[in-house]
Amino acid sequence: MEEGKVFSQSVQQSAAAYAIIHEKFGSAVSAFDANETMPFFEVLDARLWRDIALFMRDHAKLKFNYMACLTGMDYQAEEKLGIVCNLESLSLFNHRLAVKVKCERDGGFIPSVACVWHTANWHEREAYDMFGILFTGHPDFRRILCPDDWEGFPLRKDYKVQESYHGIKVPY
Amino acid sequence: MQELDTAGLGSIRVTRKDDHTVVIEKDLATEQMVLAMGPQHPSTHGVLKLECLTDGEVITQAEPFLGYLHRCFEKCCENVDYPAIVPYTDRLDYLSGMNSEFAYALAVEKLLDIEIPRRVEFIRVIVAELNRIASHLVAIGTYGIDLGAFTPFLFCFRDREIILGLLEWVSGARMLYNYIWIGGLAYDIPSDFLKRVGEFIAYFRPKTVELCNLLTKNEIFVKRTIGIGIMPAEVAINYGWSGPMLRGSGVKWDLRRNDPYSVYPELDFNVPVPDGKLSIVGDCLSRHLVRALEMEESLKIIEQCISKMPATEGFNPRSAIPKRIRPKAGEVYARAENPRGELGFYILSDGKSTKPLRCKARSSCFVNLSAMKDLSKGQLLPDLVAIIGSIDIVLGEVDR
């Protein structure tokens, strides 16, 4: 957190929660980005993401039991794909934190957290469907919104729509 | 005690006891049958396909297949300016367009960090709560139809028609409003609008009691829903449930209270949760009860808004709208309590463009529906209809 800047109470609560995670995982997590709209930190070593998720859910002072949202991302400038998870502790504590995990654009993967929060199951399937992010250890890994034989991943910035699908012209 | 010998094979005996528990006894392993329900099925409330693996009349697995109504909402958002996304948000949850617009406007305003005139806030809450009542009326009416009660549906739609008329008067459209804009509203309310809303409240209040007597206390309806599809609170939270679904499991969680936005902190209303007297906490009936009770709370909110709203002659609801909407670089996750639960918008702005770099809609129905597999396991096939109806899905929001 930057010195001399006054943040609202909710950001301070997020910072306190981050401090506990940072103490345990050290350099595997990035510095805390304190901002009023969405305070977050990044998981630098993606392989540790599931351990961090479990720690965040089960630690007595954290109890992030509710995953509000998991967003797939295409960071084109960094040549990376990633996810943003909005976590909070529903009816136990008041802290909220967003976590970012990034992976290589080609051949990279992120550990699935569907076993930590059931809701991540469909969110991760959607992230795979739209961005082609591979989640390892996912119980039911396939497309969800697009048909199974659809080519490409529509929300990637460099996506080119396929010419035809089962004989139907696709671009209009 | 009632005994059913399903399929006449003598393979499974399903016993319903008086304390609403269902005992399934298996004598023989039989061949499992795949039964596809949907995508065109009246009780799936849209184009949803459920592939059920059944053992006699018992469901061993029900897998939802979605995407039939996928319209690339998020891809569209990346190609249009911020204000142009508002009409698209209407088409997410088309039964509660006002609430969806409200959530989106909240997200962009948080990113822009602008102040909204007080009168605008009150108008927004009034139209959003009216829309919530209209949406719950559809949910309750169609739930009745799913379970064989036709009359409540007609009653619900008769009353919903009045709300749609009011909202049409305000915005010019009956369902897809494009009324709540970033930083303001499309128009101020007509001069007699509040009076007519007051008349509607006076008319509607006795109707909620009537509806309660007709449906919620109807023995056939209760028997079809009580003890069906029970979801424990812990699992519901883990599944990311929100809105009436989560409250039906006994968790007192309402974003209007717990993460307040707009003028909700000034308003006095209850968050109804089932107490286990009329229903078993977490079952289909509990979720129905929450919706039925919430309509009364919405009426209370609207009444308070009418009395608290500052009257301003010649008020311009577009005064706070920025000339050019170009948020500074940053990201935001903002959410609002929709009739179906938490609708959140994640928006990423690069600070240079008038289009978002990424706009993700966290849909409440999508998340609520993801528990379908666990919810339907071991239930009887006719009860599957009761479970889907109680989730109250709108496929426009599930598929986006």
Q: Which residue shows structure tokens 């938490």?
A: B342
Domain range A9-169, its CATH number among 3.40.630.10, 3.30.460.80, 1.10.3720.10, 1.10.3210.10: 3.30.460.80
Give helix B118-146 / helix B151-171 axis angle, nearest 10°.
Answer: 160
What are the two backbone dihedrals, phi and then psi, of residue B3, each rounded to the nearest 5 degrees?
A: -115, 135
Q: What is the pLDDT of residue A4?
A: 57
Instruction: Summarize pLDDT for A83-131 with one digit per residue, the tens.
Output: 999 998 887 888 888 999 998 888 888 999 998 999 999 999 999 999 9
- Cα gap B120→A57, rounded to integer Å: 39
Q: Residues near B216 by Cβ (< 8 Å), separated by ≥ 6?
A: B222, B278, B288, B289, B292
Domain coordinates in residue numbering, chain B: 2-65, 73-399
SS (H, E, C) chain A: CCCCCCCCHHHHHHHHHHHHHHHHHHHHECCCECCCCCCEEEECCHHHHHHHHHHHHHCCCCCCCEEEEEEEEEECCCCEEEEEEEEECCCCCCCEEEEEEEEECCCCEEECCCCCCCCHHHHHHHHHHHHCCEEECCCCCCCCCCCCCCCCCCCCCCCCCCCEECCEECCC
Residue of A nearest to B237 (CA): A66
Q: What is the pLDDT of residue B57?
A: 83
Nearest Cα neighbor of A43 from B238, A1, B360, A54 is A54
Query: Are the Cβ atoms of A145 and B360 closer than 8 angstroms?
Result: no
Q: Which residues of B touch A119 (CB under 8 A)?
A: 238-240, 367, 370
- Cα gap B369→B114, rounded to integer Å: 35
Contact B55, B32 (CB under 8 A): yes
**What ipTM was predicted for this assembly?**
0.89
pLDDT at A2 over 60: no
CA–centroid distance for B323 within its chain: 33
For chain B, say whether A67 makes contact (Cβ under 8 Å): yes
Cα B14–Cα B16–Cα B21 angle in degrees, nearest 5: 110
Tell me the nearest-neighbour CA distance from B242 into chain A, angstroms.
9
Chunked into runs of 10 residues, chain B (400 residues) has average pLDDT values of 47 69 68 82 80 85 88 90 91 90 91 87 92 92 88 90 92 90 88 90 90 84 87 90 90 88 89 86 90 91 89 79 84 91 91 88 90 86 88 87
Nearest Cα neighbor of B283 from B215, B235, B228 is B228
Q: Residues near B161 by Cβ (< 8 Å), separated by ≥ 6?
A: none
Contact B72, B78 (CB under 8 A): no
Around Cβ B396, how many Cβ atoms within 10 Å?
21
* Coil/strand/helix, residue B3: strand
pTM over 0.90? The answer is no
For chain A, say whether B243 makes contact (Cβ under 8 Å): no
Q: What is the pLDDT of residue B132?
A: 93
Report how far apart, in Å, the C-alpha atoms of B316 and of each of B100, B103, B147 are.
Answer: 23, 22, 48
Q: Which residues of B touch A142 (CB under 8 A)?
A: none
Instruction: Summarize pLDDT for A57-82 with one digit per residue, the tens.
Output: 888 888 898 999 999 999 888 888 99
Instruction: Summarize pLDDT for A9-57 with one digit per residue, the tens.
Output: 888 888 888 888 888 888 888 888 888 888 888 888 888 898 899 998 8
Domain coordinates in residue numbering, chain A: 9-169
Report how far apart, in Å, the C-alpha atoms of B305 and of each of A131, B126, B204, B313 are.
Answer: 44, 7, 17, 18
Report how far apart, in Å, the C-alpha atoms of B143 and of each of A117, B130, B232, B392 are.
Answer: 29, 20, 22, 8
Q: What is the pLDDT of residue B23?
A: 75
CA–centroid distance for A149 within its chain: 25
| Fold (CATH) for B73-399 | Cytochrome-c3 Hydrogenase; chain B (1.10.645)
Contact B328, B191 (CB under 8 A): no
Contact B359, B107 (CB under 8 A): no
Q: Which of A68, A119, A154 sits opposite B370 (nearest CB)?
A: A119
Q: Which residues of B95-113 are buried (b: 16+ CB within 10 A; e: fewer)?
A: bbbbbbbbbbbbbbbbbbe
- Cα gap B62→B381, rounded to integer Å: 10
Query: Are the Cβ atoms of B240 and A144 closer than 8 angstroms?
Result: no
Report how far apart, in Å, the C-alpha atoms of A90 and of each of A153, B259, B370 are.
Answer: 33, 11, 19
Tell me the nearest-neighbour CA distance from A129 into chain B, angstroms.
11
Cα B43–Cα B49–Cα B51 angle in degrees, nearest 5: 110
For chain B, say whether A68 makes contact (Cβ under 8 Å): yes
